[in-house]
Amino acid sequence: MSGLMLGFSRVNIDPPVGIPIRGYFVPRYASGILDHLHINMLAFTYGDAPRVAKKRYVPDTGRYAEGTAPDPSGAILMASIDNCGLGTGECTEIRRELEKSTGVPYGRIYIHSDHTHTAPFTDPGNVSEPEASLIREYALFLKRRFVLAAEEALADLRTAKMGFAIAKAPDRIAYIRRYKMKDGTTWTCPPVGDPNIDHPIGTLDQRVNVIRFDREGADTVVILNYGLHADTLNLDLISPDWPGALAKTFEAAVPDAKIVTFVGAQGDVGSTNVHPVPGDMNDTLISFDNEMKSPGMCRFVGRALAGSVLQVYDKVEYVDVDGIGALEKKIRVAANVPSPEQLPLAHRYKALHDAGRDDEIPYTAMELTTVVAEASRMCALENGPDQFEFTLTGVKIGPVAFCGIPGEPFTEIGRQVKKAEGWRLVCPTINTNGKEGYFPMKEAFDEGGYEARSSRFRGGVAETVIEGSLALLRELGGRKEM
Q: Report yes or no on 109 lying in a domain.
A: yes
Q: Report yes or no on 299 lying in a domain.
A: yes
- Cα separations in angstroms, 76 against 18, 19, 323, 449: 36, 32, 11, 38
Which residue type, as a one-letter code, is found at position 468? G
**93-57-84-32 Cα dihedral, nearest 10 degrees:** -130
- Could you tell me what percent of the chain has a pLDDT over 90? 91
Q: Report yes or no on 475 lying in a domain.
A: no
Angle in degrees, 0-180, between the axes of helices 295-313 and 242-253, rounded to the nearest 10: 50
259 in Cβ contact with 302 (< 8 Å): no
Please give the pLDDT value at position 478.
Answer: 73
Whether pLDDT at 482 is above 50: no
Q: Strand locations in 313-355, DSSP E?
A: 317-319, 324-334
Q: Report yes or no on 261 lying in a domain.
A: yes
426 in Cβ contact with 401 (< 8 Å): yes
Whether pLDDT at 243 is above 60: yes
Please give the pLDDT value at position 481.
Answer: 47
Tell me the pLDDT band of 65, cut-offs 50, 70 and 90.
low
Residues 410, 412, 415: CA angle, nearest 5 degrees: 125
Please give the pLDDT value at position 126.
Answer: 81
Model pLDDT for residues 146-171, shown as the tens digit of each residue: 999 999 999 999 999 999 999 999 99
Q: Residue 19: which residues within 8 A CB-CB, separation 6 or more?
A: 29, 30, 120, 121, 131, 134, 135, 138
Please give the pLDDT value at position 1.
Answer: 38
Tell me the pLDDT band of 295, cut-offs 50, 70 and 90.
very high
Q: 3-state SS of 82-102?
A: CCCCCCHHHHHHHHHHHHHHH
Number of domains in the chain: 1
Domain that holds residue 143: 4-168+202-325+391-429
Residues 120, 43, 248: CA angle, nearest 5 degrees: 50
Whether pLDDT at 395 is above 90: yes
Kindly tell me the burial class for residue 296, based on how many C-beta atoms sit within 10 Å of its own C-beta (0-12, 13-18, 19 or more): middle
Report the phi/psi class of residue 428: left, alpha or beta, with left for phi > 0 and alpha for psi in -120 to 50.
Answer: beta
Q: Is 405 helix (H, G, I), strand (E, B) or coil?
A: coil
Q: Mean of the per-residue pLDDT values for the chain?
A: 94
Model pLDDT for residues 269-291, shown as the tens digit of each residue: 999 999 999 999 999 999 999 99
Q: Is 255 helix (H, G, I), strand (E, B) or coil?
A: coil
Mean pLDDT (whole number) for 251-258: 98
Q: Report yes or no on 125 lying in a domain.
A: yes
Predicted TM-score of the model (pTM): 0.94
Report the phi/psi class of residue 154: left, alpha or beta, with left for phi > 0 and alpha for psi in -120 to 50.
Answer: alpha
Q: Report yes or no on 303 lying in a domain.
A: yes
Tell me the pLDDT band of 102, cut-offs 50, 70 and 90.
very high
Q: Report yes or no on 161 lying in a domain.
A: yes
Q: Report yes or no on 331 lying in a domain.
A: no
